[in-house]
Structures are given as structure tokens and as C-alpha cells.
Structure 1
Amino acid sequence: MSITVPSADPATGEGLGEQAWIEVIQKMDEVYNDLLQYEVALEEKNAALEESHQFIESVLTSISDILIVCDRQGSIIEVNSSLLHFSGKSAQELEKTPVFDLFADEIERARAREVFARFGREGVHDCEFFLRAGDGSTVPVSMNCTPRVSQTGKLMGMVVTGRPVGELRRAYQALRQAHDDLKRTQGQLLHAEKMVSLGRLVAGVAHELNNPISFVLGNVLSLQRYASRLESYLGAVHATSVADDAALIELRQSLRIDRILADMPLLIDGMIEGAERTRDIVDALKRFSAVDKTLPELVCLNDVIERSVRWVVQSASARFAVDVDLPPDLRCSGSSGQLQQVVMNLVQNACDATLHVGDARLVIRGSVASGQLSLIFSDNGPGIPAENLGRLFEPFFTTKPVGQGTGLGLSISYGIVERHRGKLSAANRPEGGAEFILALPVESN
């Protein structure tokens, strides 16, 4: 703002009047007030600018990701504290240095130059590079690059951000582990619920079967006594009254009475054995369903395995060889009948799995270590499909054709082994075939 001061009148020679000086002073006051207002506004803008600068500084300091501001030549202009901590260098050491010096080696530098040059205008998004950390290690970093332009659209440089991928991978692994643990827990809960439901079902079935089996067994035992009496009576009659009756002798021969009398004890013994085995199965079902509780006893597993193998091999429809390699006197605490049920189930499953194998074979090996005995059942069958490994011990799950399997054998065996404080697991052998491992706590003499 300019102030015009009236000059003296040249004609009269008189100086400035009083009114003119008053106007000059007023103008000077106005100028001074304007200057004060300008100064106040400037101080307010400076304060706002300083506040914005402090805010930006605090934001940049708080950012956990790496932040680098570069010029058009790729030289570092500004960095945040995360990069200083990552690189182990100060801001003065990094200033004016090429950003590509931060990369791990020449291969990574050449790759970064090529990627940044190709996508510099569009920007680079989530591209993984290896950077050299302050401790000398190479760290994978997911990087982003955005072009920095002026108000007129002129390229001024670029802004590079990055996040170490190792932390993300560790977080992902932890999340994956938690997810797997949750799935495993859910599977265990589902399995436990199925086992409870199965126990209720088995308890009812065992109760319904127990009465007719007891009736059949009782009648067969009575028939055995009657057969013995009849045989004695017929022998006495034939020896005394009909020794010379040729027609009666011929009738006895044509009806094969002697062969019937010879076969009858074997038939009755077979019926008794079948009824007793059925009764044992019902008892095992009742124990599985917690209807009956038996006191633990000292069980010799060598005898259990020998009996189980003999019964399965004798009833096998095809040739089935079993090799047993056990340490002497393997003992554990539990129920002999229940453990025999488990072993028979494993041997029978191996027999069924190798039905179409030319040289069907099962190898049973045993070992003792750290207070635990292990029995390994290895067959040379086709193995277990990978999708079925996790479902083998589920109730009612079976891969056998309809009518040939109920899907209860392995699930019942699994429950029996758990009650004996052991573990039953399955896997496929690298050389082919399936392998079941039965682990039980060992008992010393």
C-alpha cells in the first residue's frame, strides 16, 4: 500500500496544512493494522503447517511397514523409522544412496530395476523381493511402488513401501496350526459322540442277543447229554436183543447209524464252540458299551496272538500265511477276551485285504521300549486309500461290499484299546500294504 504525501504549494510557498498531516497519519495507521493482520495470519499458517508436519512425522514413525521416498533417479530422499530399524543404518547414511542398494544381491537388484522400470508409471503391487537386513540376513519383503508426480503431472520420483513376508508367514502358520488343532478337536468330539451313540446301540443289541444265545447253548448242552445216553442205550440193545436179527442189522447199516453216532459228538462240540464264541462276542459288546465292568488281569499277549492267529487261519477261505516275531512273555494289564477281540479283528482284516493276493501274508512284530509294548501288523495287500485313512475308526465306516462288513470292528477295537490306556493307529507301508500299530503299557512280572 502506498501513501501520497501532499507537497508544499510552489506559488505561495506555504507548507502542508494540518488536515493533510492527519490524513497521512490515518493512512499509516491503516497500513500498520494491515501489517499486523498479515503477521497474525502468517503465524497461524505457520502454526498449522508445523502441526501438519508433526502429524505427518508421527504417522510415518508409527507405520510398521517400510517406507522409502525416492527421486527420479532412484536416490533415497526420505525414509521412515521402520526402514532404519530394518537396515540398521541412519537416515544420513541412506540419504542420496540408490534404493536398489537395499536389495540382497545383484540378481535381486537387476530384477527390481527391470520391474520398477516396466511398471513405474502404473505402479508395482505386492511384488516379493529379497532385501538385505541389518544383521546381514536376506528377508523376503512384499513391496509396492507408486509414482510421485507434481501438480502439473510431471514425474518427480516414486514412493516404495514394503512389509516383511516372514511375519505374515509365521502368522499364517500359526493360524493354520490353530485351524488344524480345531479340526482335530472337532473330529475327536464327533468321534466321542459317535462312540457314545454306538455304545447305546450295542448295549441294546447285546441284551437282545444274550437270551437266545443262552437258550441255544443250554439246549445244545442238554442234547449232548441226551446223545450220550442214546448211544449207550442203542449199543446195549444192539448187543443183546438184535445180535442175530439180520434185517435190523441191515437197516442199521443202510441208515448209517454208526456213522451218525460217531459224527454226533463232533457236531455237538462244533455247535457248543460256535455258541460259546457268540456268547463271548456278546460279552465283548456288553463290555464295550460299559454294561459290564471286568476287573483288569495280567494278560500274556503271546498266548492271545497265538489263539487269534490260529482261529483266523483255520477259518480262512484261501491260503493265508502269518509270520509272528515277538519277544517272550509280553504282558499287559487288561481283559484277555477284549484284547483277543482286537487282535482277531486286525488279523481278519489283513486276511480280507489280501484275499486276491497270490502270496497273502501278514507279519506280526513286537517290541518293548520305555515302558510300552508295540505290536505291528503288516500285510502285503493293496493298502488303504489316502482318503479313507482318517475314517477307519469311525463307527459303521467300511470299504467292504454290502453284506460283508458292518464297519464296527475297528471302531470297537479302537475303544477297547483306549480303555486299556493304549493307542491304535493305521498307515500305509512305503513298500506297499497296510500297517496297524497297537501300543499298550507294558507290565513286568
Structure 2
Amino acid sequence: MSARLFASIYQKVGEKKVHRFLQTITLRSRIILVYVIILGLGGLITSFFGAIITNKTIMSQAEMKVLHDLRTANMVYTEKLKSIKKAMKIGASANMMADALKNGDKTELNKIAHQIAGIVDIDFLSVTDSNGRVKYRMYAGAAIGDDVANVSTVNSALKGNTAAATEIFSAEMLHNENPVLDKQARILLKDEITENDSVSAAALTSGMVLVAASPIYADDGSLSGVLYGGNLLNNDFSIVDQVWELAYKGEKFNDEEIGAVTLFYGDLLISSNIKSADSARVVGARISPEIFHTVREKKMPLALHSKLLSERYISEFQPICNFSGEVIGMLHVGALEKAYVSMRNAVMGTFMTVAVIGFFLIIFISYLITRTITRPLSEMVDVTNRVAAGDLDYVIKIKSKDEIGQLAYSFNRMIASLKKMRRELEEWGNTLEQKVKHRTEELAAMQRTLMQSQRLASLGKLAAGIAHEINNPLGGILVLSSLVMEDLPDSDPHRENLEEVIKQTMRCRDIVKGLLQFSRQEQGKTEYVNVNEVLNNTLALIEKQALFHNIKVKKNFQEDLPFILGDNSQLQQVFMNVILNAVQAMEEVGDLTLTTFRDKKDDLVVIEITDTGCGIPEDLIDRIFDPFFTTKEVGEGTGLGLAIAYGIITRHNGRMSVKSKVGEGTTFTIKIPVAEKVKVADENE
């Protein structure tokens, strides 16, 4: 992102202005500026990715800790259920339990019940007969004689199995077990899950309980009844407090407890360690229904960042299932998100502080280093001024063996070479051989161009005369042969010969048409033309043809290409002719590369069209622009296309040339002068 911003600014300011600015400042300033740009961009990129990595790492660690805390909470919850199950199993297997149940000895049953209560903390404990009817309950005032066989764990125990699970007891069932439990289970509901919610009139009356049951066997092995008991989780904070002690005790952020441990009956909060402003435990609030629905459907732990009361937490939700495997609640642990956000911000603040200090420290060191580099260079500049004034006897003193010392050594060698060259020039004089050779080559090229133009002009006149003389007889032949053709029956043996006469006559007509077009080449209208647009328009006309399906077109266009003066249509004719020839040379399979750029030295717009075709033999290169010269099969071309193209480019004061290598491909190069208006604008800049 920062790289694109820099590139955009660079384009807006302009390449020339940047170059002028760099030329006005010292080398030392340029080096320091480069350091600043590189370090600045590097710092921005590093800060961006560092922030992403830091945030991801810290949040990942927080999520891993919460997951570990959920496992701790699940272990505490499971161990609690196992301890109840173990106590029920021990109580049911007691020697006196079956006899006491059989004899209705409540004293003995009370004794056994209190022994069990000494093993595990439970809210209710009951004994049933073999049909599931309650014969004894531990707590005073509890009902006797009701049928509890529909409780899943009790039903399993009646079948001979010791079972434990989390179940839902109605208010009536809770009251039957212990007269105080229905009051403990009652929770006033809140409409939304915020700390300042108003309490609605509705209230939760049923309760979520941990319950275990174990069969009681008589001496003869027959089932005498069932011992079951458990804990009510509504408004019971023993499990959440135990988990909090293990996972979050002592962890605070701005005097707030970081950890939250809660139990949900469905989506309703029934137990938590979160406290309100008056230090009361928060219950009765609802979590987002979508969370409970997701946990209930997937029956798997759910990790997410959720809002609980007025705070956001990094949360993990564990489904709580009943004996039948249905999700009836959730065990939740979470950590304050803002605590880890604050930690992340602190880390990033430290990182940025160190980065800024390092940045300025490197700039200072760069300044010192550039001084050691530029001082010898300044001395060398003074020497160059002396040399420019003609003093070739001065020698630079070499003080080091580094690159500056090597430069000084090379500079001394250069001065020595200049002295030698000056002596040689004085003795032998200036040679013009190379210049003469270069000029001779230019004259030869101009002569070839002139001869080509003269040849084309002569051929044009000849073609015009021939075309006029041949065109009328050809028309007569074509009309008469067509009329004869109409009169001949389909079975006539001469019909095939006559069809061939008509076909060849039409071919002659096309050749004459090409001759006329070649001989009547017109100057065309003159306008400012964008070569890139002409090339794009030409491609748009032909690239959807079938012969282009396996051709890969590559465009290397200079974006700020200057305008030329010319005829748009004629230039499109030239480009289309060359491109179609290139595609045919590649046999419709290969790479076609179109390149445009400005030759600032000669003020020319250069167009290069390169194919990967079969190439042109060297002995045919000089003939390809001649009229009627073609390498195609008879009947596939007239040999006038490139000749016409050459004439059009010549009338645009341009040059057209070709380079080719057999087996590798061909490049057509077209050079057209830049419009005078563009030249004047460049000179004003």
C-alpha cells in the first residue's frame, strides 16, 4: 500500500521534476534521502505486518488459554458429577441399605443418607422401591410416594445400571425432593443481556440438576430399589467459583476480574462468578439465542468473541447434555477481550518506540558515514576542475584502499591516459574514419530508400496503365462467360472448364483492383494521431477472428506516447496488413508482440511488430516491399500489401524496415516523426 502511494506521488510530481530536484541537492543529501525513503517504507511495511502478527499471536494465545480454561471447567464439572455417582454407588451397596428399605427402617436410612452426605455435598437424596416410587427422602418435609421412574438416571438404575447425568427437574419435582429447592431454582428473567436491564415479570422455576442413581440389590440378588441424589445448579456457585479459583484467581485488569465462568440453562444464565454493582451474582440474563442454537445443533464446543453483560469476552462454550444426549445447557468460560487488546497495544507501542528510535539512530549514523564518503569526492571534484582547465600534471593522493581509493587510483590512470592521448592527437591528428564510415552508411541507406521510392513510383505508373488496359477486357470476359454459364445445363461437360475460367477471371479482377489501389495511393487527411489507439482499434477489428484463437498478443505500449501527424485510416491499413501477415507466418499459433516507444534522440515514434513465425530468408529481405512479390501460394495473395504499406509510411515521412531470422521470427519496425506541436511543447518544458 505504501509502495503504491509513493508510486502515485512520483507520477503526479513528474519524473522530470524529480530528476531536477535530485540534481540540485548534494550527493550526501541524496544518499540520506534514499536511506530515509527505504527506512520509511520498510518501517511502514514492517509496522503493518508486525501489527497483524502481534495481534494474531496475542489473540491466539488468549484463545488457547480460554480453551485450556474450558477444559479445566469441564474437568471440575465432570468430577462433580462423578463424585455424586460414586457416592450413590457406595450408598446403594451398603450392607444395611437393602434391609432398611425392605423393613421401612427410616432411622437406618437416615444414618446411611447422612453418611453419604458426608462423602459428597448434595441438595437431595431419595430411595425408591423396585417400581420407582419414592419410599424415603433425606430432607424433612419432602414428599413420599411419588413416581420418579420417568427420570432418565432413575429409569436406568431400575434396569440395573448406575447412571449419572445433568437433567431438568420441574419446580414440583424440586419441591418434592427438598422443600427449599424450588425457591433456589426460581430466577427472575431479564429481557436482554446487559447489566442495567429491567427485570421482567417472568421467572424460571424449573432447575438444571446434577443427578446420579444406583440400583439397590437384596441378598438374593433381586432389585430392591434405587438410591439417587444430586445438586441443583440454579443459583449454586460452587462449580463456577472452583473453576475461577483454578483458572483466574488473582488475574485483574484495571481492578476488574479478567475471567468469567458461567452456567447456562438453555440460553439463560443460572450461575456465574460475575458480580453486579451491588456485589450480587448476576443471573437471569440471556446469551444470544444464535450461540445456544449453534451449540445445540453441532453438539460441540464453540469458540468466539461474544458480548456478556456490558463487556466483550474471548469465549468458549461447552454443551451440557442430558442422559439422552440432548443439549440442555452450556458451560462457558471467557476472558476480557479488552485486557488482551490493551496488551497488544502496549506491545505495538513499545515496538513503534524502538522502531522510531532506531530510525533516527540509523539516519544519524548514515549522516556520519556519508561524510566519510563525500569528503574525498569533494576533493576529487576540485582535481577534475584543474584537469578541465588543462592541468594534467596533478595527481590525487591515495589515502585508502577502499572503493574511494580505487576511484582515486583509476582517476590518476585516467589523467595519465589523457596525457598520452593528447600527445597522440598532437602527433597524428584527429581521424575522421569512423565518422566517414558512419556517414557513408547513412547515405547508402538513403540511396536504397530513394531507389525503392523511385521503383515504387515507376511501378505505380506502369500498374495504372496496365490496370486500365486490362480491366475492360476482363469485365467483358467475366460477363460473357457468366452468361454462357447460365445457359449451360448442369450436365454439360464444358461447365467445369467454364467455372474455372470465371474463377481465374475474378482472380485477375482482384489483381487489377490491387494494382489500381497501389497506383492511386492518396495523401489522405492529416490529423493528430495516437498510435496506441490505432493499434488497439486495429486489434479490436481482427483479434476475434478464428485465426487469432491460438495467438497470444503482448502489448508493450509507452503510456505517454506523443502524437504524430497522419491519416488514421491509412495507418490502420498498414498495421492490419503487417499483423495479418505475422499471424499467417506463425500458422495461427504463436506470440505476437506490439511495442511502441519514443526515440527522443531523433524525435520519432517507433512501432515494432514482432512474431514468432517461420522467418524470412536473408536473400528475400530486400524484395518484400516490391510490388507483386509474395511467398504465399498461388491464389492466396497479390504481393501488393506490403508495397502499399511502405508507400503509406513513406508519405508520412516515415521509414519502414524489417529484420528476420529463419525459424525464430520477424520484426517490422515503423518510424514516424513526432508532431511539431509536441516537439515545441517539449522544448518549452
TM bucket normalised to smaller: 0.3 to 0.5
TM-score (norm 2): 0.26
